[in-house]
Amino acid sequence: MSIFEHTVSRLSGEPSSLDSFRGRTVLIVNVASKCGLTPQYEGLEALQRRYAERGFSVVGFPCNQFLGQEPGTAEEIQTFCSTTYGVTFPLFEKIEVNGEGRHPIYAELCEVADAEGYTGDVRWNFEKFLVAPDGSITRFAPQVTPEDPALVGAIEALLA
């Protein structure tokens, strides 16, 4: 089963999947509102605005597994993201990205190695998985910012 086929709910609670993103370039990110990396929302939104018309989308999955840094309700998360960072990219339900409760989407994503060869558990908030239109995945560590030339170059190569 591909990551596009798993059932997941939108932050609003409506059942969905990532199927509408199939064949597009997608950056999947586990996000949190009270993390030192939270300002990355600004860069993620900039990527969304810059490349959306070319078939790209950021997709956010709030996660509270890292020191409780996403404690809010769905409504609180949505309000924070839209009013603080102007987020327009889709946000899905709060999920677990590690452990026994790991969402099936992340079970697949965590099998992918990053540039340093790391596979396995998500290390922190804002770990990034760039999914190409053909379904191949490139993994980026949480500290790789949305403006990082390696990430931007990888996105642009897929949109060329």
Single out the catalytic residue among 35, 63, 81, 110.
Answer: 35
**Residue 132 DSSP symbol:** P
Q: Which residues contact 107 (CB under 8 A, 6 or more apart)?
A: none
| Residue 55, beta-bridge partner list | none
Catalytic residue list contains 35: yes
- 28 burial level (CB within 10 Å; 0-12, 13-18, 19+): buried
Locus of tokens 């987020």: 87
Q: Which residues are catalytic?
A: 35
